[in-house]
């Protein structure tokens, strides 16, 4: 079965292809689709579903679509930045600027706990299959690590390492996206076979 992944992110594409190896999965670019779906939902699932449905319509039934949305939710900040993880300070800021802002905000509290949440959806015009992954951790007191991107340098695991201090393979093994893909695969195998 051919599927379209609603992204051009090569890291996401590689990770999803590895776990869903029995399916042929193509990026938007590989399918000749050049569109950026506005993520204006109130939840990760709403954003993922919107992307899946819009890309499915554009692709004109060239195959089912898999779409995701994910982000960082900090408990002492009532789940902030959540769906705004990559946009809460605006467009022209660096990951480091966002991360330092979050550290300064979390430093006002004793609770440093946080989650990375990822929702994935498979959509084929009839079936909607949802996968979810949640990675629990903490916000570090400083930026640490050279591997990764986004908030990886401030998301600290229970073992004391940030995601940015893990190797690429180590991170992919435990990531919220990896959990969501595995969850989705299990549900797809029950429903689609």
Residues with catalytic function: 69
Long-range residue pairs from 102-106, CB within 8 A, at least 24 positions apart, any chain: 102/72, 102/74, 102/139, 102/151, 102/154, 103/139, 103/140, 103/141, 103/142, 103/143, 103/154, 105/74, 105/77, 106/74, 106/76, 106/77, 106/139
By the 8 A CB rule, do 117 and 71 touch? yes
For residue 126, the tally of other CB atoms under 10 A from its CB is 6
If phi over 0 gives left and psi between -120 and 50 gives alpha, with beta otherwise, what is residue 100? alpha
């Amino acid at each position: 079965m051919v599927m379209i992944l609603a992204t051009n992110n090569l890291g996401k594409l590689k990770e999803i292809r590895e776990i869903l190896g029995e399916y042929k999965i193509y990026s938007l670019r590989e399918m000749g689709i050049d569109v950026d779906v506005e993520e204006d939902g109130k939840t990760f699932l709403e954003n993922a579903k919107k992307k899946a449905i819009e890309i499915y319509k554009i692709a004109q039934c060239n195959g089912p679509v898999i779409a995701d949305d994910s982000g960082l939710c900090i408990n002492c900040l009532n789940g902030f930045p959540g769906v705004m993880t990559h946009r809460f300070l605006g467009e022209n800021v660096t990951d480091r600027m966002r991360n330092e802002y979050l550290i300064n905000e979390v430093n006002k509290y004793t609770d440093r706990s946080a989650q990375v949440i990822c929702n994935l959806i498979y959509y084929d015009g009839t079936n909607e299959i949802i996968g979810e992954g949640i990675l629990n951790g903490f916000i570090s007191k400083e930026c640490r690590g050279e591997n990764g991107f986004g908030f990886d340098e401030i998301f600290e695991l229970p073992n004391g390492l940030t995601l940015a201090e893990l190797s690429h393979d180590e991170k992919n093994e435990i990531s919220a996206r990896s959990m969501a893909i595995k969850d989705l695969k299990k549900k797809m195998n029950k429903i689609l076979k």
